[in-house]
Amino acid sequence: MKLYRHWARADVTWTDAEGRPAGTAAYAGSDRGPEDAQARADALAQARARWVQDRRGPADPFGGYGLTNRPLREAVLWRQDDPAGQPQAALTRSRNGYVVLNATQLMIVDVDHLPGPGAGQHVRALWARLRGEPPPAPPTPLDSLLRPFLRRHPEWSVRAYRTRAGYRLLVTHAPMDARDPAHLRLMGNCAPTRCTSGCAGCRAATAPA
């Protein structure tokens, strides 16, 4: 999880080989102070400018793409550090107004694209209709995914709630490091659905305040 107390922006402009104006910008953060954040932003902007102009320097000074390698440029409402001074948990405000929980050892799994009802459920619903009875309540899609896993791992505690795209699972029985292979067991149990997970920098949002 990468959160900084101070942020700064730097811009670099130049004229390209065809005489057209060009430029790039960079944001950088720091816990030391605004001056250090500005110095980092200046250095990063210069590295990006060199790379754009003649492909010199790092292979990709823009930092690639992904939640694990991009610091979060959000307002920090509350932050708790570990004994080494690194952020362990924090509340931030996203650009659309949500208050977001960020935690390094809380496992959150988003389960999207859940499978539809199986043939057995369709047969039971048809039989009930023929008998003039209300159709049986269909099991939630998580029943077939989560309950077998929990039967095999009774020491696990998982909370689930609905999201627009499916379900969000919160693993609450113990802190879990992102490098712990245990979280892969739950991810593998969710196949063939589409799952996204994280421990280092897990994020769960609440409604805009």
pLDDT along the chain (209 residues), means of 10: 88 91 92 95 92 69 55 87 87 86 82 58 67 67 75 88 79 78 65 46 54
Q: Are residues 66 and 112 in the same domain?
A: no
User: Which residue, 53, 73, 93, sits at the end of a domain?
Assistant: 73
φ, ψ of residue 18 to 5 degrees: the values are: -100, 10
- Collapsing DSSP to helix, strand or coil, 64 comes out as coil
Six-digit token string for 182: 């245990």
- Cα 138 from chain centroid (whole Å): 30
Q: What does the pLDDT read at residue 104?
A: 83
Q: What does the pLDDT read at residue 115?
A: 53
Q: Are residues 154 and 200 in the same domain?
A: yes
Q: Are residues 64 and 113 in the same domain?
A: no
Longest dimension (CA), the chain: 79
Q: What does the pLDDT read at residue 163?
A: 77
Please give, one letter per residue, the 3-state secondary structure of 175-204. CCCCCCCHHHHHHHHCCCCEEEEECCCEEE
Indicate the number of domains in the chain: 2
Identify the domain containing residue 51 by its residue range: 6-73
| CB of 24 closer than 8 Å to CB of 50 | no
Q: Are residues 130 and 199 in the same domain?
A: yes
Q: Are residues 136 and 52 in the same domain?
A: no
Q: Are residues 123 and 66 in the same domain?
A: no
Q: What does the pLDDT read at residue 198?
A: 47
